[in-house]
Amino acid sequence: MLYHRFTNSSNVMSNWGHAMFAANRDAVENYGSKEFIFKSSRDNSKTIKSLKSLIIKTWKYDQKNGFTGDFGNGCTDDYYYNVKDNAVDAISIYNSFDPSSVVESADAWDSELYQWFWERIAEPNGIMAVTTQDGAIVFDADLIKEVC
């Protein structure tokens, strides 16, 4: 499947180290003058649905044993990771990584929770791109092509 990103920057990656794409080109074409595309395949990406059990299992483990890494060091009373009260259960965390409209609200991908996903799910498992209901999150700029 083909995903689209528009930006005015020559650097396709965000300051967070990822690039978000939408399946619907029309929904994002007003975001900038430069168009980038990502073509997903079985070889270069995982569906978020295929990662559901891993996300849930890892979140539960971290809630019980404590968060680590850059995410854990910045852990606050934020909605996503209030571990003292277990404010957000693991299924809600998983769902936040699969927003119904990545353009309207990227949900977890637009929060510090992205750091947790990178440290605990993507990087340890060699995942460089994830597809959602209507978008894609890419961590490797080499998978992205600029449209001329």
User: How many CB atoms lie under 10 A from the CB of residue 86?
Assistant: 11
Token reading at 71: 């995410």
Length of the chain counted residue by residue = 148
With a cut of 90, say whether residue 88 has pLDDT above it: no
Beta bridge partners of 21: 136
Non-local CB neighbours of 38 within 8 Å, separated by 6+ positions? 2, 3, 5, 19, 21, 129, 136, 138, 143, 144, 145
Q: What is the pLDDT of residue 85?
A: 58
Q: What is the pLDDT of residue 48?
A: 97
Token reading at 101: 């409209």
Pick 49 or 63 by higher pLDDT: 49
